[in-house]
Amino acid sequence: MKIDSFEIRKINLPLVRPFRTSFSTQLHRNLLVIKLTTKEGIVGWSECVALSEPVYSPEYMDGALDVMQKFLIPKLFTREEVEPEEVKGLLGNYLGTNMARSAIETAMLDAKLRAENKSLAKFLGATKDKVECGVSVGIASSIDKLLEEVSGYIAEGYRRIKLKIEPGWDYEPVKAVYESWPTMPLQVDANQAYSRDDGALLAKLDEFNLLLIEQPLDEHDILGHAQLSKQVKTPICLDESIISVEAARDALELKATTVINIKPGRVGGYFESKRIHDLCVEKGIPVWCGGMLETGIGRAANLALAALPGFTLPGDTSASARYYQKDVTTPFVMEDGYLKVPTAPGIGVDPDMDYLDSITSEKILIEPS
Given the rule CB under 6 A, which residues bind ligand OSB?
A: 56, 136, 189, 191, 239, 290-293, 316, 318
183 Cβ contact partners less than 8 Å away, ≥ 6 residues apart: none
Cα dist from 290 to 1, 70, 153, 196, 350, whole Å: 30, 29, 18, 24, 22
Straight-line distance from the first to the last Cα atom of the chain, in angstroms, rounded to the nearest whole number: 18
Catalytic residue among 35, 88, 112, 263: 263
User: What mask, x for binding Mg ion by CB under 5 A, covers residues 134 to 173?
Assistant: ----------------------------------------
Q: Is the dihedral of CA 109, 110, 113, 118 positive or negative?
A: positive
Among the listed residues 132, 170, 189, 350, the single contact to Mg ion using CB under 5 A: 189
Given the residues 35, 164, 255, 283, select the one marked as catalytic.
164
Does residue 316 interact with Mg ion by CB under 5 A? no
Examine the residue annotation and report whether 118 is marked as an active-site residue of this protein: no
Phi (first) and psi of residue 6, to 5 degrees:
-115, 135
CB of 80 to Mg ion, least distance (A): 40
The window from 64-72, 77-85, 214-222, 275-283 that contacts Mg ion (CB under 5 A) reads: 214-222
DSSP 139-174: PPSSHHHHHHHHHHHHHHT-SEEEEE-BTTBSHHHH
Shortest distance in whole angstroms from residue 334 CB to ligand OSB:
13
Render the burial of 203-235: b for 16+ CB within 10 Å, e for the rest. Answer: eebeebebbbbbbbbbbebbebbbebbeebebb
136 interacts with, out of Mg ion, ligand OSB, none, CB within 5 to 8 A per kind: ligand OSB
Nearest residue by C-beta to ligand OSB? 291
**65 vs 188, beta carbon nearer Mg ion:** 188
What, of ligand OSB, Mg ion, none, does residue 345 touch, CB below 5 to 8 Å by kind?
none
Of these partners, ligand OSB, Mg ion, none, which one is at the site of residue 288 (CB under 5 to 8 Å by kind)? none
Q: Which amino acid would we find at residue 115?
A: A
Give the three-state DSSP class for 314. coil
**Phi, then psi, of 211 in degrees rounded to 5:** -65, -40
Min. distance of Cβ 174 from ligand OSB in angstroms?
16
CB of 240 to ligand OSB, least distance (A): 7
Give the interface segment with Mg ion, choosing from 66-74, 172-180, 208-216, 230-238 (CB under 5 A).
208-216
Query: Does 340 qualify as catalytic in the annotation?
Result: no
- The distance of closest approach from Cβ of residue 25 to ligand OSB in the complex, given in angstroms and rounded to an integer, is 12
Beta carbons within 8 Å of 9's beta carbon, 6+ residues apart = 32, 33, 35, 356, 360, 362, 363, 364
Which stretches of the chain bind Mg ion, using CB under 5 A?
189, 214, 239
Q: Which positions are catalytic? A: 164, 263
